[in-house]
Structure 1
Amino acid sequence: MKVPIEVEDERDDEATAVEPDEVEAQEGADEPEVSDDADATGEGDELTPEEERARVEAAIRAGEEAAEKELAADAGKIRAERDELQKKLAAVEDQIEGAKKEAADAKDRLVRLQADWDNYRRRTAAERVAERERAAEKLVCDLLPVIDDLERALDHAGATESADTQMQQFVEGVSAVHAKMLAVLAKEGVEPIDPTGQPFEPLSHQAVGRVEDTDAYDETVAQVYQKGYRMGDKVIRTAMVTVTYGGPKRPADEAPADEGADAEKGAPEEAAEQTK
């Protein structure tokens, strides 16, 4: 049998048993509470002016350091942007210099091409003129023997006296043909060289003989066997002449006067000077 009293004692013990956490909570509740204000005031009383000034200075320094760091970061960004812009500017300047150089080269090539074109145009024009002159000169040179034959025929007819009217008319007709041919050649700048009585000029005269003449100046053309011809400033055929010798020397002051009076002699001398 169980004894009721003992059971009741065990129940009382269980009822009176207290957990440790509950004991600590109770002990904490029994302790007096301390407010935060009391803690704050407990750490120290009011700050002294020196401490307050030190705290203000520390706050200022901290603000200045933060501002310096922020300014340094901004300055770094600005420098990076500046460097990038400088690189772009340098690249653009290089492009500009390259474009200027290309423009200068193109201008130089244009000037050279223009000069080459002008030279080519003048050269081709001169060549065309020279070609025409050579063609005309060849034709004139081919016609000169015909003119010589006409002049010989006229000289022979003049030396022969004839009362035949038809013969005289024939001679007049040949003379008219001769005059027309000379007129046509004159339009092309062709003129005869007939230096009888003039000083001998080696550039336009060809000496085929010498004749002694003490009355005439030395080196004077005594007779023309064949007329010469000049086309412009060029002698296309020299005159075949005989030259005197044995006479007095020609005065130096008369040579220019003779050359100025003789247009046919002046032109060959100018041509000779141009050739020199």
Structure 2
Amino acid sequence: MAKDDAKKVAPEAREIPIEGSDDKNEGAAAASGSAPQAESAKAQDAESAAAEKAPEGAAEKAEDADIAAEADAVVEQAERLAKAEQEAAALRDKYLRLQADWDNYRKRTAAETDEMRARAAEKLMNDVLPVLDDFERAIAHAEKNGEAGLLDGVKAISTKLNGVFAKHGLEAIDPAGKAFDSLEHQAVATVDDASVPDETVAQVFQKGYRLGKKVLRPAMVTLATGGPKREPEPAEGDEQE
């Protein structure tokens, strides 16, 4: 009974207010509320800084890419220039070699031509020397024995000389009594003669000569005029009736 009475008599417990506790609680709550805000602000600042740095980094990368492209272009151009210089040097060397070969060929051809001419002249002179000996013998015979027999000797020498020239391809042009040919004859005068066709060679003042097909000297002739017109000669290959 005494315990029950004691419980009944004991006063109820009350909380004792403490001065300043509310302010501390409020400050703690405020502090706890401002911490997330500070962290959020820092995050925003970091994001903004990263956003500011991102364009700068992209610009630097783009600038680096442009520099690299320009460097590659410079290197490529230098390579093309070096290749072009090599090709130009090769072409120059080829041109110099060709020019040297042409000069050697020209000199060799000129030397061969001169040698051929010398051989041809040597052969001709060897054939003419006996004719000169005959002339000397004819002159010596005329000096000792007078002019008797000189004409026959000169004629023999002339025949022999013509034979030497004919051997080397020289042919006399002696067109007396033939039709005038402006390619081989040179008219120096005309004479009236109706007994022969017009433009017939009447007289040969000087013989002409041809070597092969080349006329070395045309014959100097006079032409007969006043006669009938000459009939055109048939062309080679035409059938005659």
Normalising by structure 2, report the TM-score. 0.49
Normalising by structure 1, report the TM-score. 0.44
